[in-house]
Structure 1
């Protein structure tokens, strides 16, 4: 069971590596296509919108026809579509391939989290903490992989390289799924109790992706080199490994209160980083930033029923990624008009609104 959890987690790690590769490569891509910050933000929005829209269908299809099979389709689909960026010669072609990537990558989360939550029961928080290593490890690993390639060969070569690695995980996962999966009854419905959680997830992911998309550019605007800023970007994500594990562990013991604390910590730490950019703030921020994912996922599993677990997982993630879709473009637009500091100072307020929704939701 643990080896299967590791394979699913590796698939999620590369899911994030592909999607977040744009952030450290943003200076190269902006220069190549002469993009504004708002247009650069659309490179993230382009994948997040189809990713969000496919969440509920992916959860239902996984419940109905087999979650494991859908995971394999997702890995090969997102690997191939991301590799196609190598051939993009125009801005709209980059957008198109990112949209295709967003569709296939969106098939992964709901069946994977449903499978883990059902298998681990009362220990689902800790197991989902392992799975949610995907965001920090994938995001932290990707600059170390793609920036050297971009500096030596060009940014386009980074995506086929990532695709080769993720396709290998897809092959291993496919080989591990030779046994027949048990069929189950599936119900396409959403619990009322999941709505406030979904709205809080909307705000949290809007802030999360808004920060991650422009963090390297934010740091370089204060005089750091791109190498230094990329290293700090990776540090944030490496610390997020502890955050993800701690988040799952904390939820198993504190429940909803752990999520409330995480939202408040993120608001405070991002405000401190914005007012006085200090690399030391990234240490607690990396932990708090990535602790939210496993908590939201575990809490979602508690408000869902057995027959619609995938649908509810997909619904909460779908609404969250509508926020993620808005975040990069909105932050980019604010940066264009008001500068980095004023734009980033609005992000703590977003986390405080998410905290209020969870606090008042029950």
Structure 2
């Protein structure tokens, strides 16, 4: 998330268009999505902690290469390499947490997933001062050193593998496919909303500064939403997923209808609660042998949606206007809910007496 606040500086120096600037995010998200399933399987086979460390060290070193980038295609290539290494992280990390915490995995994943809203909220405060004092490339070098420190600490402090899978399987149960389609739709809506929310408020007559404040507020509230969502899942299980999708559909509709800024407080709570709930729910549809693969598959589908969503929402804004586009986002959450409801055909794996 260092790219969005730095886009004005990057565009000015490299003389690129808005579409080319958008590809700096797409070039990361697409390889990130495609590597998810192999990452889940190899995390199960080689060791989940080991793959997480490889991911963190790999994307830290890859991102630091931006200090040498002088042309637009250099940035695209480095961001793609970053996406490959970053994609190795999610599936083994969430599988590991789900295995360790079992009945409390929703709460544990809720804490784990405060990373995205915290990162989105603090990224401008880190990268902009560095970019203005030195230049924008040094922002990535500093962030790389920060994440590299975390990766090395993980490698040195936690000895060995926390959990080793004896017979990993490269399989995805058929009941996971409707869940994956739902995740595709919902993350397309989520990233579409995140990308254009500030512009939406500007279009409604708010200043750029005010619109940016509402965007930051959404992320800050999302920290609490992520933690609360995981805790709620531990209590009411799949009901929490149906409820939060319905609430996101309703609140998105209400935002378009009223353009009332304080709705972002509620949106932040429910937007960011989806992540830990979906992840915990996904783990219920896998066995110990294919947990990493299943987690990776569902996340892959979600981030393919994240890759496509901003482009198509932007295209709809260009052709039909903000209201129609944002009404579609509301409809996408409703569509995700209906997809999940109609796809419920198979039983899930339950944790019982310490085993599945």
Query: Displacement, 1:252?
Result: 1.1
Q: Which 10-residue stretch deviates more, 274-283 or 47-56?
A: 274-283
The 1-side partners of 2:199 and 2:276 are apart by 28
1:185-219 Cα deviation digits (max 9, x unpaired): 10110011111111100011111122223333444
Question: In the alignment, what sits opposite 1:8?
Answer: none
Query: Displacement, 1:225?
Result: 4.9
Which structure: larger Rg?
2
Equivalence map 1:47-196=2 (5 Å): 47-180=28-161, 182-183=163-164, 184-196=166-178
Question: In the alignment, what sits opposite 1:313?
Answer: 295
Question: In the alignment, what sits opposite 2:197?
Answer: 215
Q: So what's the TM-score if we normalise by structure 1?
A: 0.88
The 2-side partners of 1:219 and 1:25 are apart by 21
| Match status 1:327 vs 2:274 | no
Q: So what's the TM-score if we normalise by structure 2?
A: 0.89
Q: Structure 1 51/282 Cα, relative in aligned 2: closer, same or farther at 3 Å? A: same
CA RMSD of aligned residues (A): 2.0
| Among 273, 277, 284, the residue aligned to 2:255 | 273
| Among 220, 224, 240, the residue aligned to 1:258 | 240
Q: Which 10-residue stretch deviates more, 124-133 or 273-282?
A: 273-282
Ranges in structure 1 where 5+ consecutive residues have no aligned partner: 1-19
Equivalence map 1:233-244=2 (5 Å): 233-244=215-226
Equivalence map 1:284-295=2 (5 Å): 284-295=266-277
Q: Which 10-residue stretch deviates more, 296-305 or 230-239?
A: 230-239
Query: Displacement, 1:34?
Result: 4.3
Q: Structure 1 353/93 Cα, relative in aligned 2: closer, same or farther at 3 Å? A: same
The 1-side partners of 2:129 and 2:213 are apart by 12
Conserved? CA contact 2:52–2:92, under 8 Å: yes
Conserved? CA contact 1:22–1:44, under 8 Å: yes
The 2-side partners of 1:164 and 1:217 are apart by 33
Q: Which 10-residue stretch deviates more, 130-139 or 331-340?
A: 331-340
Greater helix content = 1
Ranges in structure 2 where 5+ consecutive residues have no aligned partner: 345-356
Q: Give the aligned length.
A: 343
Q: Which 10-residue stretch deviates more, 116-125 or 87-96?
A: 87-96
Q: Which 10-residue stretch deviates more, 291-300 or 39-48?
A: 39-48
Q: Structure 1 349/38 Cα, relative in aligned 2: closer, same or farther at 3 Å? A: farther
Q: Structure 1 162/187 Cα, relative in aligned 2: closer, same or farther at 3 Å? A: same
